[in-house]
Chain A
Amino acid sequence: AQSVTQLDSHVSVSEGTPVLLRCNYSSSYSPSLFWYVQHPNKGLQLLLKYTSAATLVKGINGFEAEFKKSETSFHLTKPSAHMSDAAEYFCVVSEPGGYQKVTFGTGTKLQVIP
């Protein structure tokens, strides 16, 4: 069975400082991993996805994530936080199958302090 753990429910950073949102996963297969962002009262928007092509994945809005198989981690980073990054972020694992086998993390709320 697959699972995903987001290690921090809340992260607070100052504007202009780096962002690190942590995600660990468990899977019996070589999964695909995704990060989604949700702004207040909005749907989820895809930030980036890992599909085994490259371990360092670049996404939108300056975010990137590194897949580390030995650590079963897929942490999301950004060099410099912007006020507009304040949102909730979800790490998602997907396994192969005849239908969508997707598991969402519990989310990390990012606060950006001016």
Chain B
Amino acid sequence: KAGVTQTPRYLIKTRGQQVTLSCSPISGHRSVSWYQQTPGQGLQFLFEYFSETQRNKGNFPGRFSGRQFSNSRSEMNVSTLELGDSALYLCASSLQGAGEQETQYFGPGTRLLVL
């Protein structure tokens, strides 16, 4: 089975622009979660989607949004980029996203640099 894929792998944007990141989960996985990883804050949960619905959300401003399509692929969008949005954005998929025993499988991440 193919793993979780994320595109693009690297992005450079300038302040004020917007960006869209894409994640394709493992085939058959219906839950997709997004995380932001920075040296200062570590891994922070952004949101989780299941069956095209946002089921859980972390503590990020409304500039961060996402969606999930019927094939479980997910996108996240960041509008009005700020310097502090520079980070590695990780996507993780799991079967149902419920229950403590489910394993999340991570993609390689998208490295975003905001200038």
Contacts and interface: CB of A to CB of B under 8 A. Distances in A.
B75 interface: no
- What's the dominant secondary structure at chain B's contact region? strand
B22 to A, nearest CB: 15
Contacts of B55: 98-99
Contacts, number: 65
A110 to B, nearest CB: 16
B111 A46 contact: no
Interface residues on A, range: 20 to 34
A90 to B, nearest CB: 7
Interface residues of B, number: 29
Contact of A106 (B42, B92, B101, B103): B42
Interface string A10-22: 0000000000000
Nearest to A100: B97
Interface stretch (B11-19, B43-51, B66-74, B76-84): B43-51
Interface of A: 29, 31-32, 34, 36, 41-46, 49, 51, 90, 94-102, 104, 106-107
20 contacts: A31-B100, A32-B100, A41-B88, A41-B109, A41-B111, A42-B108, A43-B4, A43-B6, A43-B107, A43-B108, A45-B106, A90-B43, A94-B102, A95-B100, A96-B99, A96-B100, A98-B55, A100-B31, A102-B45, A106-B42
